[in-house]
Amino acid sequence: MNKKERALFVEKKLNELFPNPKAPLDHRNAFTFLIAVLLSAQTTDKRVNIVTKELFKKASSPEEMLALGENEVYEHIKTCGLAPKKAKAIIATSKILIEKHNGKVPKEIIDLEELPGVGHKTASVVVSEYFKKPAFPVDTHIHRLAQRWGLTNGKSVKQTENDLKEIFDEMNWRNLHLQIIFYGRAFCTARGCDGTICFMCKSLYPNRKTKKKTSKA
């Protein structure tokens, strides 16, 4: 298969496996979704949903989060990875949203990236999932699988994002982002597959005999 044929195969199979992918992070509005995505870095979605259940009862807006304060935010999220750093970022982000954006979450990636703790991937997830605007967030799962499936050379996360945007139709970016993550978690994990084991890898490269080395994100 050439790259386009591999992409079509991947998309068809992912649609069969995950026909209506839903974002796994619980939220109430744009602000709580932003905070949930921020918290998900180096933390499982399950853990994020556990800690935000009580946090969002107390604070579901930038004003309420700022009033809560960094120490109390930390107490709610301390079981998440990088909790001290995230608590500080959540308070700083809440303050900026109030001062610069009238308490609203901006809809543009460039504006979101200016918020503390919000990188390009987090901004892309918010824009794609909540505001329904074209974006293709690339996390470690997607970066790894895109290399294993021959959809990118894997030199960088940015390059992977650009390559996937080129090969897949814009209207499918949102679903594919979630579908690839779900597939990676279930069937093509970092240690569970080496490019020769899971269904997708074996189907795309039936003659591959050696492990596929992938560059890290």
Q: What is the pLDDT of residues 78-108, one digit of tens each?
A: 999 999 999 999 999 999 999 999 999 999 9
Enzyme catalytic residues: 121, 139
Domains present along the chain, CATH in parentheses: 3-20+136-204 (1.10.1670.10), 30-130 (1.10.340.30)
For position 154, what pLDDT does the model report? 84
Long-range contacts of 158-165 (CB under 8 A, 24+ apart): 161/136, 161/137, 164/136, 164/138, 165/136
User: To which residue do tokens 């799962």 refer?
Assistant: 141
- Structural contact between residues 128 and 174, judged by C-beta atoms closer than 8 angstroms: yes
Output the six-digit token pair for 128: 């794609």
Q: How many residues does the chain have?
A: 217
Residue-wise pLDDT tens digits, 17-29: 999 999 999 999 9
Residue 144 — φ and ψ, nearest 5°?
Answer: -70, -50
